[in-house]
Structure 1
Amino acid sequence: MGEVNKCMKYSMFIFNFLFWVCGCIILGVSIWIRVSSAQQGIDSSMFAGVNLLIAVGAIIMILGFLGCCGAVKESRCMLMLFFIALLLILILQVTGGILGAVYRSQVETAFNLTLSTSVNALQSTTGEYKEYQEEFQKFEKQFQCCGLTNGYKDWGENFNKLSSNMCQCELEKPSSDLCIRYDNRYIYKKPCGEVIMQQIKDSLIIIMGIAFGLAVVEILGLVFSMSLYCQIRRK
């Protein structure tokens, strides 16, 4: 009958505590990305990866707690459940990464379709999209952009009708890189579609970084849990 390695036992506990913390961070960052994207009026169907990370973050928190209890109580059942669940998550991550690479072009097509729908909302004069138009003007001012794909043209008749300061370039010395002159005033040159796309790419980089770091942690978790499981079994 062998003794359970105390170093391995407490290393497993510390690892799972850090694993639980990682789950909290993933959940928090994913919710922040999801909420900020929703406030920009982006179609929710384009953020399936973010929704998946929210679920993964919550599951990791539960697994971290399960692993801590399994290590402290030296429970083979808990450790095996931890190992199986962690392995399934790793497989799902790899599958999600492959699917994301395969369907990347379809995501870009869906984004362009969303922009076309949003342009129609900007040009609407019925008042149905009044709230959306007001929120989008705030977005333009905040990120120094105008329209979605074709600048001020995306607003159509609403460009001067809704506000005389729409897309107004508020710099003291407007540069040609940021502003253009139109109708005796300077307006922002960059379409907001480019800004939104850049934010999506930045969010994807964050997601990829989290997923890669998480995969390394998960592999270590599989090794730790199986090693401790084998030691408890020999005991």
Structure 2
Amino acid sequence: MESCGMNVIKYILFIFNLVFAISGIGIIAAGALVLCDVGEFSHFLEGRIMAPPIVLIVAGSIVFIIAFLGCYGAIKEHYNMLIAFAAALLIIFVIELAVGIAAAVFKNDFSMAMKDTLKESMKNYTEADRLAWDNVQKKLECCGVDGPEDWTPAKGFTVASFPTSCCADMQAICQIGSTSLYREGCFSKLEMRVRKGATILIGVGIGIAFVEIAGIVLACCLATAVKRESDK
């Protein structure tokens, strides 16, 4: 097959797939980055909040694998493999689109669910909850759900002593009036952390979506040209 136009498409698709394989690694890295960033606070986050970065890591792994499928199909001008490659890209695109829509629709529900989890954890306050609260309060420099007042007698705690993680100076007694007492609640800071991660995922997802559409079009064009040549 020596058609100049087809050769151009073939090599464009081959180069595209090399770039696509690298983008798969980028997707995995972005998902892992977000998962590491919010994963340490998983005690307060529902599974559905943790799902998008995990889905992105899985999608990135699949993208990396099928990129080689596209490379082989393009160089060998293999019709069935090109169609399989285009179909795989389409499936990944639909999955990413579905995850994005779900995240947008349930965005407010995620926030409310996270706040309820924080309050429930404070109410139970088991050893696991204590460790999780100490971790989030130290890392995010916050105190309570909405503020230090959440650790007062009205909530079932002693006003004289906040958890030491509520204060920057953990050697001193942490109480009302302490200059090192964190004034901001953990909910707003944790929500900001989750939203920042979501923004990264959305940006990566949109960028990859355009790449996938381009791949589908190129693969279909080359597959059509291969089919036309084989029918002559």
TM-score of the alignment, normalized to the shorter chain, above 0.5 = yes
Q: Give the aligned partner of residue 148 of structure 2.
A: 151
Rounded to whole Å, the distance in 2 between the matches of 1:228 and 1:132 is 57
Rounded to whole Å, the distance in 2 between the matches of 1:186 and 1:206 is 33
Cα contact 1:46–1:110 (8 A) shared by 2 = no
**Structure 1 residue ranges without an equivalent (≥5):** 171-180
Rounded to whole Å, the distance in 1 between the matches of 2:84 and 2:147 is 54
The aligned amino acid for 1:71 is: A
Shift of 1:198: 0.2
Q: Give the aligned partner of residue 217 of structure 2.
A: 223
Find the partner of 1:207 among 190, 201, 207: 201
Find the partner of 2:105 among 102, 106, 129: 102
Does residue 90 (structure 1) correspond to residue 87 (structure 2)? The answer is no
Show CA shifts across 1:47-97 (max 9, x none): 222222222112211211111111122111110001111122222333333
Where 1:182 maps in the other structure, the secondary structure is coil
User: How is 1:14-33 mapped onto 2 (pairs within 5 angstroms)?
Assistant: 14-33=15-34
The aligned amino acid for 2:157 is: E
The aligned amino acid for 2:27 is: I
Rounded to whole Å, the distance in 2 between the matches of 1:60 and 1:31 is 15
- Aligned in 2, Cα 1:197/1:74: closer, same or farther, shift over 3 Å? same
**Structure 2 residue ranges without an equivalent (≥5):** 170-174
Q: Give the aligned partner of residue 117 of structure 2.
A: 114
Q: Give the aligned partner of residue 136 of structure 1.
A: 133
- Aligned in 2, Cα 1:79/1:158: closer, same or farther, shift over 3 Å? farther
Number of paired residues?
A: 218
Q: Give the aligned partner of residue 44 of structure 1.
A: 47
The aligned amino acid for 1:153 is: D
- Aligned in 2, Cα 1:214/1:133: closer, same or farther, shift over 3 Å? same
Show CA shifts across 1:2-48 (max 9, x none): 62633322211111111111111112221232233231122323222
TM-score w.r.t. the length of structure 1 is 0.80
Rounded to whole Å, the distance in 2 between the matches of 1:139 and 1:166 is 9
Rounded to whole Å, the distance in 1 between the matches of 2:131 and 2:17 is 47
Rounded to whole Å, the distance in 1 between the matches of 2:119 and 2:177 is 25
Rounded to whole Å, the distance in 1 between the matches of 2:138 and 2:21 is 40
Q: Give the aligned partner of residue 167 of structure 1.
A: 166
Cα contact 1:152–1:167 (8 A) shared by 2 = no
- Aligned in 2, Cα 1:14/1:158: closer, same or farther, shift over 3 Å? farther
TM-score w.r.t. the length of structure 2 is 0.81
- Aligned in 2, Cα 1:19/1:159: closer, same or farther, shift over 3 Å? farther
The aligned amino acid for 1:58 is: S
Shift of 1:182: 2.2
- Aligned in 2, Cα 1:108/1:143: closer, same or farther, shift over 3 Å? closer
